[in-house]
Chains A and B, each alone.
Chain A
Amino acid sequence: LAKTTQPISMDSYEGQEVNITCSHNNIATNDYITWYQQFPSQGPRFIIQGYKTKVTNEVASLFIPADRKSSTLSLPRVSLSDTAVYYCLVGNTGTASKLTFGTGTRLQVTL
């Protein structure tokens, strides 16, 4: 399983763009990168997944450089409701069964 490293915490003001970077130096060729969001007292919720380059959906973008050794989750114009813990996971169909969540990045958004 690829090891991931994320900042422990980040602070932002409402309306700003937030970029959370995850390092995964030993990512395997067939690994995908997935991000989850967790609010207090709730289970994690899937945000976005990608393999390479850029993926965008209605809530976030995921940027993956050519070497795939890192990835960046971009949240445009955050609001107070985006205050949560964000987890980066790396795995493939063979390792997905044993995916675990690290401590994640705690994002605090204020006015």
Chain B
Amino acid sequence: NAGVTQTPKFQVLKTGQSMTLQCAQDMNHEYMSWYRQDPGMGLRLIHYSVGAGITDQGEVPNGYNVSRSTTEDFPLRLLSAAPSQTSVYFCASRREGNTGELFFGEGSRLTVL
């Protein structure tokens, strides 16, 4: 099992560009989420999904879109990148209804110039 796979690992964008961070899990988890982590800070929840076709906003959703067309994939779209979106992004998954272990990807480091 690969677990949670994120691509790309590194990306540099110019202000105003758009891009998609990919996240895939092979554990048949219903719950998936995206976090961002700024230097020296904790993780802040951007968007989450409790199953295919269902998404909801987290703590810091502005500037990001998500969709969940399959159980396996949960892409995060930056519509018009801004320097304030420079961060490390983590995708995570877990069985829904389970307060237990969140499985995280290795992270995607995004720099917006």
Residues on A lying within 8 angstroms of B by beta carbon are 32, 34, 36, 41-46, 49, 87, 91-93, 96-104
Contacts and interface: CB of A to CB of B under 8 A. Distances in A.
Contacts of A93: 97-99
Given A100-B45, A100-B58, A91 B107 contact: no
Contacts of A45: 104
B5 to A, nearest CB: 12
Interface string B26-42: 00000101010000111
Contacts, number: 65
B73 interface: no
Given A43-B90, A43-B106, A98 B42 contact: no
Given A98-B45, A100-B45, A102-B42, A91 B99 contact: yes
B50 interface: yes
A102 B40 CA distance: 11
Interface residues of B, number: 30
A26 B101 CA distance: 22
B36 to A, nearest CB: 11
B105 interface: yes
22 contacts: A32-B99, A41-B107, A42-B104, A42-B107, A43-B4, A43-B92, A43-B106, A44-B104, A46-B100, A46-B102, A87-B42, A91-B99, A92-B99, A93-B97, A96-B31, A96-B98, A97-B50, A99-B45, A100-B35, A101-B35, A101-B44, A103-B41
